[in-house]
Structure 1
C-alpha cells in the first residue's frame, strides 16, 4: 500500500510517499527522486523495491508538495533537509538510501553529512560532471523555464514528457509525471543548478561507504563509471547494460533486483 503524509522540518513541510510491506524484515529504503520530479517518480517501482522493506520517498524542498528551503538551495541544503526529515520520522535505526540522477548527489551528500544515519548507499546513473562540461550543463539545465502564453514554450517538455514517454509507460502515467515537472514552475531549475555546481570530484572521493554505484545503458553510463572510480575506496560498481530505458518504469523489476542484490552484498561485506 502506498500512502502520503507530511513531516515538519525547520524550513517547512516535507511531503512524502511511502510503501508499507505486509512484513518488514529489512532496513527502510529512502528513495531520492531526479529533478524536476517528486516522490511520484517512484510509485511504479515501489512494490518491486519494497519486498520486506518500507519504502520512503520524500519530495525535495520546493518540489512536489514540499515547502521551499531558500532562493538558491545547494545539494548540501537538500541533503540537510532530508536528514532533518528522517529525524522527524523517528525511525529505529539507519536507512538505506537509493538515489537516481540528481538523487545520487543528494544521497552522497547525506552520507557525507551523517554517515550514522545511512546504512548503505545505492546510486543509479550518476550525473558526475566536472569542469567545462559541468559549467555547460549548469548554463543549460540550470536556466529557468520561460513559459509564455504561446504553445511553443512548452513544446520541448511535451516532446520529452509525452511524445517520447507515453508510448512506453502509457498516457496517464506520462501526464502524471509531466504535471510534476510543471508544478515546480518557476523554480523547477533550482535542483539542476545545485547539481551542476556541486563539487562532485572532491565529495565522491570522500564517500565513507558502504556504497554501490549502478550504471544502466544510458547517456550517463560513462560518467557513472567515473563516479565509481572516484569513490573506489568505498564503492561497489555494477554495470546493468540490460536496462536500456524506463529504469523505474518498465525496467522496475530488473533495477529492483539489482538494487536488492547490491544491498545484500554490501551488508555481507560489512559483516565480514
Structure 2
C-alpha cells in the first residue's frame, strides 16, 4: 500500500494506492463524509490484485487540504476530477469510479460533468433523497459546531464509533474512523451541507456511464434503489447478507460483485 499527493485547486489531495496499472482501467474510490480513504483500504487490498486502485481523500477530509470556506457539491466534483487527471499522469484512458455514501454522488457528479473521464461506475449507499428525506437528513448530518476545551462535544461520537460500534468491527478500525472525524472538526459537516443543497435528481440522470449499484442492508437501501432507477445504464445488485461496516466485515463479497461487473463490461 502506497500513499501520495497531487496538487489540486484547494491545495494538495492525499491518496492511498495499491496494485499496478495493466489491461484494466485504474479504479478511483471515493469515501463517505467525514472520513477518509483509509476506510476503503480492505477493498483496495482485494481489488488491487489485478489493477491499480486509488482512494482519494476528498478536499477538506483525511490528509487533503481544505477549501478556504464551504463550497458547492459540484465544486467537490470538479476538484475530484482534477485530482484524478493529476494522479493518472500521462495516461489518457478513462477510469472506473467507485463511491460510497457522499462519495457515491461525487462519483456520479464527476461522470455527469466529465463523461470522457469515466468508463464505469460502482456505487454503494447512494444518498438520493426526496425533498422530505432531505430535510430529515439535513437535521441529522449538518451540525455546525465550535471547537471548545471540553471532551463532552465528542462524547456522542465516541459512543457511536467505539462503545456502540458494529459487532465484529475491530476496535482499531472503529477508532480510525473516530480520528477521521476529529481531524476535520468542526468543519466535518461541509461536504454534507453541500450534499443537502445538491440537485441530485437533475444530475444523476446525466451520468451515462455503465453503472452498478450494490445494495447491502442499511439506512440507504431504498434511496439506492431509487438512484439505480434514475440512472440511464444502471444494474442493481442486492446484497442483503451484508450489513454494517461492509468494508471491514464483508470486503470479499463487495470486491467480488465489483470485479464481476467491472471485468464483464471492460
TM-score, normalised by the number of residues in structure 2 = 0.93
1:257 to 1:141, Cα distance in 2 relative to 1, 3 A? same
Residue of structure 1 equivalent to 2:34: 36
Residue of structure 2 equivalent to 1:263: 262
**Cα distance per residue 1:87-120 (max 9 Å; x no partner):** 2121341110000000011000000111111110
Q: How does 1:61-72 map to 2 (within 5 A)?
A: 61-72=59-70
RMSD over aligned Cα atoms: 1.7
Any conservation in 2 of the 1:135–1:197 contact (CA below 8 Å)?
A: no
Specify every segment of 5 or more residues in structure 1 that has no aligned partner in the other structure, as ranges: 268-272
Any conservation in 1 of the 2:19–2:49 contact (CA below 8 Å)?
A: no
Looking at structure 2, the residues matched to 102 and 248 of structure 1 have their Cα atoms a distance apart, in angstroms, of 16
Residue of structure 1 equivalent to 2:13: 14
Any conservation in 2 of the 1:147–1:154 contact (CA below 8 Å)?
A: no
| Structure 2 counterpart of 1:53, from 47, 51, 58 | 51
Looking at structure 1, the residues matched to 168 and 73 of structure 2 have their Cα atoms a distance apart, in angstroms, of 31
Any conservation in 1 of the 2:28–2:95 contact (CA below 8 Å)?
A: yes
Residue of structure 1 equivalent to 2:113: 113
- Deviation >4 Å, runs of 4+: none
Specify every segment of 5 or more residues in structure 2 that has no aligned partner in the other structure, as ranges: none
Looking at structure 2, the residues matched to 77 and 18 of structure 1 have their Cα atoms a distance apart, in angstroms, of 24
Any conservation in 2 of the 1:79–1:109 contact (CA below 8 Å)?
A: yes
2:248 counterpart SS class: coil
Looking at structure 1, the residues matched to 240 and 171 of structure 2 have their Cα atoms a distance apart, in angstroms, of 27
Residue of structure 2 equivalent to 1:270: none
Q: CA deviation at 1:166?
A: 7.0
TM-score, normalised by the number of residues in structure 1 = 0.91
Q: How does 1:87-126 map to 2 (within 5 A)?
A: 87-89=85-87, 90=89, 91-126=91-126
- Of stretches 31-40 and 83-92 in structure 1, the one that deviates more from structure 2 is 83-92
Looking at structure 1, the residues matched to 198 and 155 of structure 2 have their Cα atoms a distance apart, in angstroms, of 29
Count of equivalent residues: 264
